[in-house]
Amino acid sequence: MQQTLDEIAFNLAPIGVVLTENRIIKSCNQTFAHMFGYAREEVLNQSFRMLYPSATEFDAIRDVGLKALKSTGEYSDERIMHRRDGTPFWARVRVATPNPSDPLSRTILSFADISGQRPEVELTPREKQVVMRLAQGRTSKEIARDLELSPRTIDDYRARLLRKFDVRNIAELLSRIMGVGG
């Protein structure tokens, strides 16, 4: 059976595209599957959990952006994902939902591998959570509340991140991690 132009465009798009229902992969293009090191057939009808190194990270990411999806139907961020073989890569993730009142019932996501634009310093799962929230402009108190930690613990993470990336402040840290300004 010959593919339509729409099917060819979807399957060969230069970014990964995936449709989920309740965090189950219902459809995806080849680019998405290959980005993660799978054949398309291997990810269909599987939980998105298979793309995260731990259940904790999978559970934590569920709530990131949920407020934006409920209010605008859209959300985007940049995060470190892992390929099937465990190698990390930076991904720009964009999410849309046709149902903001129940955003996870159906989502359309795009993934772009932006590893070449990001530092190769490995972050712990908690550091990833802190960096994502810092990039959203949140304070230590807000991050602490989100992660159910003390503000002092978040300050410790911030200090460690500054040392790890050899920068003087959070603006430089985010610039370095997000690839802004060189």
Final residue of a domain: which of 117, 147, 168? 117
Q: What is the pLDDT of residue 108?
A: 97
> Residue 151 maps to which CATH number?
1.10.10.10
Sign of the Cα torsion 45, 50, 54, 56 reads negative
Task: Give me the DSSP letters along the chain.
Answer: -PPPHHHHHHHH-SSEEEEEETTEEEEE-HHHHHHTT--HHHHTT-BGGGGSSSHHHHHHHHHTTHHHHHHHSEEEEEEEEE-TTS-EEEEEEEEE-S-TTSGGGSEEEEEEE-GGGS------HHHHHHHHHHHTT--HHHHHHHHT--HHHHHHHHHHHHHHTT-SSHHHHHHHHHTTT-
Q: Which one is predicted more confidently, 129 or 24?
A: 24
Q: Is 101 exposed, middle or buried (0-12, 13-18, 19+ CB in 10 A)?
A: exposed
Asked if residue 93 and residue 76 are part of one domain, the reply reads yes
pLDDT at 133 over 90: no
Asked if residue 98 and residue 11 are part of one domain, the reply reads yes
- For the residues 166-179, what does the mean pLDDT come to? 77
pLDDT at 91 over 60: yes
Cα–Cα distance measured from residue 104 to residue 81, given in angstroms and rounded to the nearest whole number: 20
Q: Which two tokens stand for residue 119?
A: 């530092």
pLDDT digits (tens, 9 = 90+) for 137-148: 889 999 999 899
pLDDT at 180 over 50: no
Number of domains in the chain: 2
Final residue of a domain: which of 67, 96, 117? 117
Q: What is the pLDDT of residue 136?
A: 76
Asked if residue 87 and residue 58 are part of one domain, the reply reads yes
- For the residues 142-160, what does the mean pLDDT come to? 93
Cα–Cα distance measured from residue 147 to residue 142, given in angstroms and rounded to the nearest whole number: 9
Q: Which domain holds residue 173?
A: 125-178
Is the separation of the CB atoms in 133 and 151 below 8 Å?
no
> Residue 71 maps to which CATH number?
3.30.450.20
Asked if residue 73 and residue 15 are part of one domain, the reply reads yes
pLDDT digits (tens, 9 = 90+) for 32-75: 999 999 999 999 999 999 998 778 778 877 877 888 899 999 99
Asked if residue 131 and residue 99 are part of one domain, the reply reads no
Asked if residue 96 and residue 38 are part of one domain, the reply reads yes
Based on its alpha-carbon atoms, the radius of gyration of the chain, rounded to whole angstroms, reads 17
pLDDT at 181 over 50: no
Q: Which one is predicted more confidently, 112 or 87?
A: 112
